[in-house]
Structure 1
Amino acid sequence: PDIEVETHRTPVVVKDGSELHLSCSAQRPVEYCWFRHPTGVTLHFSTDSVYQEQLYWDYAYDDTLQLGVCTIRVLPAISIVDSGEWTCNLGVIGSSEEDYAKRITVGVSETDVISLEKEVVVSEGPAVLKCYSVPLGLPLEYCRFVRPDGKGFNVDPRNNNTVLGRYRYEAEGLAKGECGLRIVSEINDAEEVGNWTCVARLQGRKKEGYDFITLTTDGYVKNQQSATRSPANQVNNQPTD
């Protein structure tokens, strides 16, 4: 049968230590469902709370299969474990086909800000770096970035001028909790390749949140690979007796 599986939200972003609530649904009753964790662990269906020893938390499913909905609740979410691609899998009543699956992007942050794309590789043209409020959609007071070389600056959606002649705000707006930066010129390897810090403060909060984004270019990666494969390095890397 032609069955479409929908996620109720993706991406899903929560604070470290809070409850993670994920769900997907079909247009007909579901016989069974299960989630696959980003680490590959299968979370077997149970409406009773189950302790997952490998992941160090408890989970339980809601009793909603007859409604065509598969929902799992995880507590507490852990940033270094639970961020990544989860998969919601459904076995639909009357279907002998393979399970219907839908991916859900999850971000778990220790601060009020999270970057969902931790690594950005640019082949040519401009690059865009973004981070978001946690939970998603909470408005931001301001948005700023720190380059790998330590240079800091802010970007404002109300300002159409480029900052330092190279940078401009690009996202859906601070009111929607999005902090984004477009590098409008060709990437400068010396200043811009490496770890960026995206920093913002949510409205009404006293403390900034931040996350990191690694920016690389195809050319930089190829140069690094060429350097490690050069004859000089190959000679230097030869084992000695």
Structure 2
Amino acid sequence: MTVLSEDMVGEWVLISKVTMLSDPMERRLVFKIHIEERVEPNSASITITEGNDLYLRLKNPVDKQDTCKLIAPNSRAFEIDEPNARLCGFLARAVSDQDSGEWEIQYGDTILYRAVINVNVVERSTIQVQDLTIIEGSKLITEIGPDDLVFCKLEDPLGMTVYEGFGRCVIRVDRATRNHNGKWKMSIGLQGRILLEELTFTVHVRSAGSRQVQTSVRRERPSVVISCSLTSNVEVRACKFRDPRGKVLIASRGVGEDRYAYHGSEVTYKSDLSSHECGIRLTNPSEEDLGLWRCGMETETETHYGFLPVICPWLLDTSEIQDKVVTEPILSADTSYVSSPEGQAVVMSCSVSATIQYCYFRAQNGTVFSVTPGATSTYTEYVGNGFAAGECGVRFDGLLTTDGGRWSCHVGLLDTEQEQRAEITLHIFEQMRVRHYIHPRGLMVEADVETPEELEYCRFVRIDGLGFTSENVPNGYQSMSNLQEGLCALLMRDQTTLNLHPWTVAAKVHGQTEIMRTSTQNLLWTLSQRTATVYSIYLFTVVMFILLATVLVGVSLGPKKNRKWTYDRVSRLSTNIRNSFRKQKPVGGV
């Protein structure tokens, strides 16, 4: 049977008749047709915190509100949600963990409509946020709070809103100052809650020169043990060392490899702080191991640094070796020669095995650029792991060829008044050079691109806006480009006015943005000067020929007195004509 309408719902009777020995017999079988249909609730799944009120309703309104009923997973009281009566709305107040499970809304007379809602009642938990510590002048970007936060709003100690958005809280401090030190307010939205919960935590801004990392060097011939310890209320997630040659070693607990083995102790607690220690044992150290080491201890918020002088007296057997070992912090440029195309980002950096107090870069023309971790300006941005790591670097968005030359990096250290400097040679070159000149076959536009990569395409733009690539040049033009060699070239057979004006050439290097330059030569003016010069020479020749003919006629036919007068007049006229063709110097020497 196919149920076509509600009229077919209800009690049916199946009748069968049979005749036995001429006596008719009838039998009846009663059955019912019952129809159930699923409908959509307003929300198929609800997470709610215990103690809050639960609202359940359908997605679409119904006509038979008087038939609405609610089936709860337990026998508990509920009431009708009057504002949502047309949606079969119900309200269960102050839910508990026993109310978790499937709730069902039903309605209908002949057809039963059902909507199932899964309800998850979560425990009302107490959320705590750990305090943060950040070095003054450094940069901090971190997330705080539970992973399942729905919404977060952060206010700094000055009452300014520094973050507001969905998801976890994000603290973004470009440059930590004393204004960030103090109580922060965090308003969070949790699953199963409507009202925001307010929490507070403290941000401690400490001086860059404060010694949180304690270092230790123990000589136990033939081994040396170097270790760093950090007293902090946050967990140390990783520990690494850098030797005097720049090689990085990871201190992995319980691991030994080659000449190195982990050396450290378990976490010990001092009042409300924990003391973390990690180290490395160097077996049979070599001359390359002697000098200043750096350790880095990474926490959730930042990395703390310390410096260790490693000296083994039994290896300093000659004065030559003693002279090579650096025991005092000396500033050096990470790269003494920096080369970059004009207009692209340029990075220069220097480092020293000590905590830096300040840093600046000086250009060849005397311009000074001060840099600080987390601080940016119109021209510069700090690059590096921070002053506590002994690193100073600067990033320029783009420099010109005139900015090249001898630069210097200057730093001031906390432990000494004497400033240190390191020299850096900066070379800024033109990445593209464009020429527009007269070729024996017509006009030529050429662009040489300084790149080790192959060009993806060359594009040419005429002064009237006509543009095309080297692959689809129009009639009258011929591409002479060589993409493998970084050459863009276009030959123009006709010396029209549009072709004589400056051209713009763009080249695309694989994986980079377009490079674009415009030719500086104006061939229209050049050809005009050439034409004017040729015309002047031609006119001068014709006039001189006429004058010469006049002299000859006057000399041969006239009397002697007239011939002398004619000669003088012609000579004077010839001199005036020659002077008129001479280029006079403009006023002011321009």
Larger Rg: 2
Settle same-fold status: TM greater than 0.5.
Answer: no
Normalised-by-shorter TM-score class: 0.3 to 0.5
- Structure with more relative contact order (C-alpha pairs < 8 Å, separation 6 or more): 1
TM, length-normalised to structure 1:
0.43
TM, length-normalised to structure 2:
0.18
The structure with more helix, counted as a fraction of residues: 2
